[in-house]
Structure 1
Amino acid sequence: METIFNYFENIPSAHRSIILVGGITFFWLLEGALPLFKFNYKKWKHAIPNLFFTATTVIINFSLAFLLLKTSDWVEVNHFGLINWLPEMPLWLYIILGVLFLDFFGAYLAHFVEHKVKPLWMVHLVHHTDHKVDTTTANRHHPLESMIRFSFTLLGVFIVGTPIAIVMLYQSMSLVFTQFTHANLKMSKKVDKALSYVIVSPDMHKIHHHNLLPYTDSNYGNIFSIWDRLLGTYRYLDREKIVYGVDTFPDEAINSNLWELIKQPFQKYKKPTNSEEL
């Protein structure tokens, strides 16, 4: 465990890039061989806007990374934050708790707030208006959302008190998990359901991408499913009933156009439909 801690404490930028590119490539090939839904689309064309937003996300995160470093250094030196106020514990438990709580602040809480605050929902909408969710959808985030998510992660580092090693481990895990849960990958329903008791499984997250409420406003988790289950935001829907997109923004042509997606957060808010009858 100490070896892992030391590795992520000094992880080279090149290795982080390999995780990003390698993950997309791996799940791109895997979902091509074992697709959940047989989309009638040109995969490379669908990927263009998604990869553009992936690039902007990378640029923003790398540009602001010094804030994470400064904050993590400060909490470590000052012994500040939740995991530093707990009684002394084994390193493995320290790392697990750090990643678990960062997953709450940096992913679950950020995601929940984006769905509940109208202006933030309009920013997050870019992610939800993909009608053919696959692994490239994972980082389809408007630049404004990338900054919002970064702010929540920074808040998490401060409150949780995580050293940079745990921050880098969390971000690497988060990257792989988002690629995994968005991948158009067919798994056994029993295996998927079993996984969902511990981690966010592909089916669990794809329910979140269903085009109608209350499913859109559920399953906010990124790595661990515990937060949705504890806080009452977990929902189940059979995968065959999932329809991707957002019912109030149904135009797939517009939702596939890069320039339209860039403008999307500044459009008029439309109240989503609440439909329990599926």
Structure 2
Amino acid sequence: MEVIVDYFRTIPSLHRSLLLVGGIAFFWIMESAVPLFQFKYKKVKHASVNIFFTITTILVNFPLAFILVKSSDWAIANNFGIINWLPDMPLWLYAILGLMILDLIGAYFIHWLEHQVKWMWMFHLIHHSDLHVDTTTANRHHPGESVFRFVFTTIAVVITGAPMWMVFLYQSLSVVLSQFNHANISLPRWLDKAISYLIVSPDMHHVHHHYTQPYTDSNYGNIFSIWDRLFGTYNFIERKDLIYGIDTYMDPVENEHIPPLLKIPFESYRPPVNS
């Protein structure tokens, strides 16, 4: 465990970049080997839209990173945060508890909130508007959404009292597992189900991308699947019944081109068509 801590305490930026690029490349290959759906789409063109939003997310987060570092340093210096108030425990348990709290606040809660608050939803639905969910969809977020997701990640770091090695470990797991559970891959059902009791599996997250409620408003988890089961937001739908997208933006003119996607948050709210 100490080796992992030491590595993530000083993880080079190059390694973090390789995790992002390597994850996309790995699951891209997996999608060709064991696809869930045989999409009739131009895969590279589709990816180019989502990679554009990946780049905007990086551009938003990079200049704000110092806030994350300062927040973590402040929490550690002032002995603030949940994991700093707990009794002494093995390092592995300390890490797991920290990661779970970061995931609860920095991923599950903000994701749930985006579905409850209309102006937040108008930014988030760019992610849901993808009609061909694959591993590149994981990084399809409007720049505005990237900002308030960063805010909640910072809040999570302070409440958790997480040191930076834990923050880097959390972010690395978040990136790779998000690419995994968005990927257009078909795992054996027994394996996907077994995985879903611990982490969010592809079948579990694909339900969240079904185009109508109540499925859209379920399965908010990113790393750990426990939160959806604990808070009653877990849902299930058969693979064969999945239809990706969001029912208010099913027109490819609106959801397959960058300019209209950037404009969506500033348009009038459209209530759900089906449920």
TM-score range relative to shorter protein: over 0.9
Residues 116-156 of structure 1, C-alpha deviation per residue, up to 9 Å, x if partnerless? 00000000010000000001100000000111111110000
Pairs aligned (count): 275
Instruction: Say whether residues 1:88 and 2:88 are aligned partners.
Output: yes
Deviation at 1:177, TM superposition (A): 0.6
Determine helix, strand or coil for the equivalent of 1:253: helix
Alpha-carbon separation, structure 2, partners of 1:123 and 1:257? 15
1:132 maps to which residue?
Answer: 132
Deviation at 1:253, TM superposition (A): 2.6
2:262 maps to which residue?
Answer: 262
Most deviating of 163-172 and 25-34: 25-34
Contact 1:19 1:176 survives alignment (8 Å):
yes
State how 1:93-242 maps to structure 2 within 5 Å: 93-242=93-242
Alpha-carbon separation, structure 1, partners of 2:33 and 2:259? 31
2:44 maps to which residue?
Answer: 44
Alpha-carbon separation, structure 1, partners of 2:242 and 2:78? 48
The amino acid across from 2:25 in the alignment is T
Alpha-carbon separation, structure 2, partners of 1:253 and 1:201? 31
1:57 maps to which residue?
Answer: 57
2:30 maps to which residue?
Answer: 30
Alpha-carbon separation, structure 1, partners of 2:155 and 2:274? 32
Alpha-carbon separation, structure 1, partners of 2:121 and 2:211? 14
Contact 2:204 2:219 survives alignment (8 Å):
yes
Residues 37-70 of structure 1, C-alpha deviation per residue, up to 9 Å, x if partnerless? 0000110001111000001111212211111111
Alpha-carbon separation, structure 2, partners of 1:12 and 1:42? 34
Alpha-carbon separation, structure 2, partners of 1:14 and 1:51? 18
Runs of 5+ unmatched residues, structure 2: none
Runs of 5+ unmatched residues, structure 1: none
Deviation at 1:274, TM superposition (A): 5.1
Deviation at 1:228, TM superposition (A): 0.5
Contact 1:9 1:168 survives alignment (8 Å):
yes
Alpha-carbon separation, structure 1, partners of 2:43 and 2:100? 34
Determine helix, strand or coil for the equivalent of 1:271: coil
Deviation at 1:264, TM superposition (A): 1.1
Contact 2:247 2:274 survives alignment (8 Å):
no
1:248 maps to which residue?
Answer: 248
Deviation at 1:33, TM superposition (A): 1.3
Determine helix, strand or coil for the equivalent of 2:252: coil
Alpha-carbon separation, structure 2, partners of 1:274 and 1:223? 29
Alpha-carbon separation, structure 2, partners of 1:41 and 1:250? 15
The amino acid across from 2:80 in the alignment is F
The amino acid across from 1:125 in the alignment is L
Cα RMSD between the aligned structures? 0.8
Alpha-carbon separation, structure 2, partners of 1:268 and 1:208? 23
The amino acid across from 2:39 in the alignment is F
Residues 195-233 of structure 1, C-alpha deviation per residue, up to 9 Å, x if partnerless? 111110001000000000000000000000011000000
Alpha-carbon separation, structure 2, partners of 1:35 and 1:47? 16
Alpha-carbon separation, structure 2, partners of 1:82 and 1:213? 35
1:15 maps to which residue?
Answer: 15
